[in-house]
A and B are shown apart, each in its own frame.
Chain A
Amino acid sequence: MLRITDFDLSYPGYPPLATIQWTVDTGERVALLGRSGVGKSTLLRAILHADRHAAIDVQATQVAYLSQQPALLPWRSVIDNVLLGFYLRGSPITEHLVEHAHALLDQVGLSDFSKRAIGTLSGGQKARVALARVLSENASLILLDEPFSGLDRSTRIQMADLCADLLCRHTVILVTHDPRDASDWLNQAMILNETDLRGPYQLDAFQDDRALIAALDGAL
């Protein structure tokens, strides 16, 4: 699904970061951990712009991306935002497509919200709409960049449960600070530090905060 060979991670204007070797197979769901500033998001962005990097090979027909600040247009309705990809590609919005979108909203627990304006939703509800859009794109690779880190603890747990339900058959890379969000539905963890990307590790290994800190420091 994803093969990265000798990719030099760098951010314009900053000293170079790690050199990445990484393979993700189809069906793997990986948590990408690391201290802030080591380039987790930069790596994720490089993957979604794989066409610009010779060192990154993505074998996916469709890649979906969800960030902490989901791209939801506040002036459009919930259902329009779920179907935004189709609008932006200029695909005809068929009845079948709308039905499918309603079904997805039902799955994320927002069946009565399709006509609502995005501005009237809570943070957790917005994250659900964004998740419904990710699902509507039928992506073979899903990239999540701390999508739930702006939410409160209980909402995050709900979202993790929802992801466990809905994304359990997908290939997923999740950038996160908190492996507890991911333990139920991801099957391995990678740790990025200033020099390289290490792993895979079992997620259970990081349930203890001290173990996580030690791992981030590179002691593992």
Chain B
Amino acid sequence: MRRLISVMIYIASIGLVWKALVWLFQIPHFILPAPERVLMTAFERAPQLLHHGSTTLAEIVAGLCLGALLGFSTACLLSISGRLQRAAMPLLIVSQALPVFALAPILMLWLGYGFASKLAMTTLIVYFPVTAATLSGFRACPLSWEDTFHTLHARRWNLFWIVRVPMALPHTLSGLRIAASVAPIGAVVGEWIGSSSGLGYLMLHANGRGQTDLMFAALLLLCLEALLVWTVVNRLSRRFDHHMPTGSVS
């Protein structure tokens, strides 16, 4: 309850500063609409916003799931062989270093203007942080533990399922937490390049018609979606956080 009140105060004060800026500098509504105007538009155009919002949310969530799955699998595979890891690392770095903006037109060309290309963009953005975090989780085992497993005559695959995977999982989730905060970028950029639905599309559309208040309403919804996704992932990541002894988790 206290938390809810403090969140309300937080949001209200942002609204107040916003309103004060608009009023103080006499900013025209087509540059920066006042907060109440944005809210009004949001209510009036709710069905349209929700339609486009659900498209974007689906892209973000599906991209997160697929990216997490692929990233986790990649890290599992690479953890098995050091040689494979050295060979694949440059490719992984490149996949992260290439801006997703640069890849977007190619992905459109290959996958079309529908859901698939946005899913691919979001997945691509999610993939690297999850892979990197999971890999570091596989390396988090202290040397003395490895020695102990050696004296216990651990079989390789038993060790993998009983120790390595559970040990890597919290790292995967903290990677996913970082990924969750950037996943909307993939979805929205994808929609900008070419689409017929989604908040990115709606914003471009509204921009072309000078409907700044609709743009802001869409932006607001995007913020809410991003926060929602991040909160869910954060909760999940906390649940799986078993406290490793100090010095072993990088």
Contact = CB atoms under 8 A, between A and B. Distances in A.
The answer to whether A and B come from one shared complex is yes
Interface of A: 45, 48-49, 62-71, 73-75, 84-85, 87-90, 119, 137, 139, 143, 145
User: Which of A62, A70, A73, A145 lies at the interface centre, i.e. has the most chain B CB atoms within 10 A of its CB?
Assistant: A73
Nearest to B157: A90
A65 B151 contact: yes
A180 to B, nearest CB: 23
B158 A90 contact: yes
Given A69-B245, A73-B166, A85 B152 contact: yes
B171 to A, nearest CB: 13
Contacts of A63: 151
Contact of A89 (B145, B155, B166, B243): B155
Contacts of B86: none
Interface string B127-158: 00000000000000010110111111111001
A87 B166 CA distance: 14
Contact of A65 (B147, B245, B247): B147
Contacts, number: 69
A119 B153 contact: no
Interface string B166-187: 1000000000000000000000
B20 to A, nearest CB: 49
Contacts of B163: 73, 88
Contact of B150 (A49, A74, A145): A49
- What 6 A-B pairs come out closest when comparing CB atoms? A88-B154, A67-B144, A85-B152, A71-B148, A71-B145, A74-B242
Contact of B147 (A45, A62, A85, A88): A45
Nearest to A85: B152
Nearest to B247: A69
A145 B162 CA distance: 24
A119 B243 contact: yes
A33 B150 CA distance: 24
Given A74-B242, A74-B244, A119-B242, A65 B148 contact: yes
Nearest to A70: B148
A63 B153 CA distance: 10
Nearest to B162: A87
B159 interface: yes
Interface of B: 142, 144-145, 147-155, 158-159, 162-163, 166, 242-245, 247-248
Nearest to A142: B151
Contacts of A88: 149, 152-155, 158-159, 162-163
B248 A69 contact: yes
Given A48-B147, A69-B247, A71-B149, A89 B154 contact: yes
Contacts of A68: 144
Given A45-B147, A89-B155, 10 more contacts: A68-B144, A71-B142, A71-B145, A74-B242, A74-B243, A88-B152, A88-B158, A90-B155, A119-B242, A119-B243
Given A74-B242, A75-B242, A85-B153, A67 B148 contact: yes
Nearest to A123: B245
Contacts of B166: 73, 75
Given A65-B147, A74-B242, A89 B248 contact: no
Contacts of A69: 142, 144-145, 245, 247-248
User: Which of A64, A88, A89 lies at the interface centre, i.e. has the most chain B CB atoms within 10 A of its CB?
Assistant: A88
A209 to B, nearest CB: 28
Contacts of B142: 69, 71
A35 to B, nearest CB: 20
Contacts of B248: 69
Contacts of B148: 65-67, 70-71
Contacts of B162: 73, 84, 87-88
B151 A89 contact: no
Contacts of B159: 88
A69 B148 CA distance: 10
13 contacts: A62-B151, A65-B147, A67-B144, A69-B245, A69-B247, A71-B149, A74-B242, A85-B152, A85-B154, A87-B158, A88-B159, A89-B155, A119-B242
Nearest to A44: B147
